[in-house]
Chains A and B, each alone.
Chain A
Amino acid sequence: MSYKAIIIGGSAGSFQVITKILANLPSGFDIPIFLCLHRLKHVRTGFEEALSIKSTLPIIEPYDKQHIRPGKIYLAPANYHMYMELGNTFSLSTEPPVNHSRPSIDLSFFSAAYTYKNKLVGIILSGANKDGALGLKQVKLAGGVAIVQSPDECQVKTMPTAAMAATSVDYVYTTDQIISFLKRM
């Protein structure tokens, strides 16, 4: 199976996991990765830069209607929902928060599932609310692969636990296992 996209959602306790994943991806990794992480909505700068420090691949906060390219990591901007549309472009939205969050992980996962169907890998990491649970369920319903970070390893296990309750996930992985999985893709 060849995958076209990877989407990762995370909140409290996910930053170190994400940086470790991004630091260990091979530099030629050519599947686009979408990061939807809960963040302070009034702080627009700094997050992209912090994630970039150890990342082997460029990290971009996309503009509306920007094209999705291989080999790039895309981070949902502060105070916008991020959608991946048919035709390989982003669109952004300022609709009300979902699960108290803008960007909402559920909404990003919904749009990615609709666009990429069974060519998508969805991963839910550590976090303190249920955002992402329905999104991961939708990834699974659309035929994609559903992965959660092992709750035993999470700083805050609410998010992966909620995702596991919402859908039968394919893999429960530690950070190292997630990295190995991505490297095999």
Chain B
Amino acid sequence: MEEISNIGIIEYRNIIKAISDNYGIDFSHKSFTAFVRSIERAMVLNNIRSTDSLISTLTTNKNFIHRFISDISIEETEMFRDPNLWIELRDNIIPQYIRKGSNIWVPEVTSGDELITLTIVLRELGVLEHVKITATCFGRNQVDIIKEAAFPLKKMEVNIANFNRYSANSKFSEYYEEKNNRAYFDRELLRGVNIKQFEFITDEPPQNNHLVLYRNKMIYYNKRMQNSIMSKITDSMAMGSIFICGVKENLESSNNEKSFVLINENESIYKKTN
């Protein structure tokens, strides 16, 4: 593992300014430590050895930004992370709150682990074809990555263990094929999913959502941006709809807290009531 970087606060601000000046993309609202690590990771992947060199590459090579955005994105950890949440979705939330024609929004998809998990749960309940799912992602390259639905085999051990905690009655292996060291998931799972690029600051979110699944993404933003994102999400949701964030994320002290009631504290499941 590389040792701690030399990216101090001044270099950090210079990098953010270079991206903003050249591409109009604002990263000033990122959570500091994780974003520094993301920048360092992108530098290692692209063999860039100093922040000056990174800024110069960002400024002179206009195609590099797409690669950079892809390299700084943080993959979702695993499928069926927190199996109890997916059990709760299967047994209670979806039967109670999702109807034919319901809209589901999964914002900021990166590697697609959570999206695939959701589609498997919906298929097992027989409702996948009857709902409209929109999955949005930040980078241009990510749309294709998500559509490919291919995951490194080394991630499958934990995925299988999680799935077995989720379900004793079905086989996870029915959903994918192993090929070239990757697990290719059934493309039919994503057939009806609208996968598109989306940016919280500038774009209009899909509207009238009945379920928004947004787990472990807010952690990468500062509190101010979290509030601004939650305002957009709240406005996009139908009355009585469901919002789910990560088990260690919550809406406490959020500007939008009053719009929700917490209906499952262990799994961070909220219902929009206001």
A interface residues (Cβ-Cβ under 8 A, vs B): 42, 44, 61-65, 77, 79-80, 83, 85-86, 89, 91-96, 98-99, 102, 106-107, 110-111, 113-114, 134, 137-138
Contact = CB atoms under 8 A, between A and B. Distances in A.
Which A-B residue pairs are the 4 nearest by beta carbons? A83-B33, A64-B219, A93-B34, A91-B31
Interface residues of B, number: 31
Contact of B248 (A42, A61, A95): A61
Given A42-B165, A99-B1, A111 B33 contact: yes
Contacts of B247: 44, 77
B213 to A, nearest CB: 15
B138 interface: no
B147 interface: no
A98 B2 CA distance: 11
Interface string B242-259: 000011111010000000
Interface stretch (B73-81, B94-102, B116-124): B73-81
A92 B1 contact: no
Given A83-B34, A113-B4, A134-B3, 4 more contacts: A92-B219, A95-B34, A99-B1, A134-B1
A12 to B, nearest CB: 20
B161 to A, nearest CB: 7
B37 interface: yes
B231 interface: no
B248 A64 contact: yes
B4 A114 contact: yes
B220 interface: yes
Nearest to B41: A95
A89 B33 CA distance: 12
Nearest to B247: A44
Contact of B81 (A79, A83, A91, A96): A79
A63 B82 contact: no
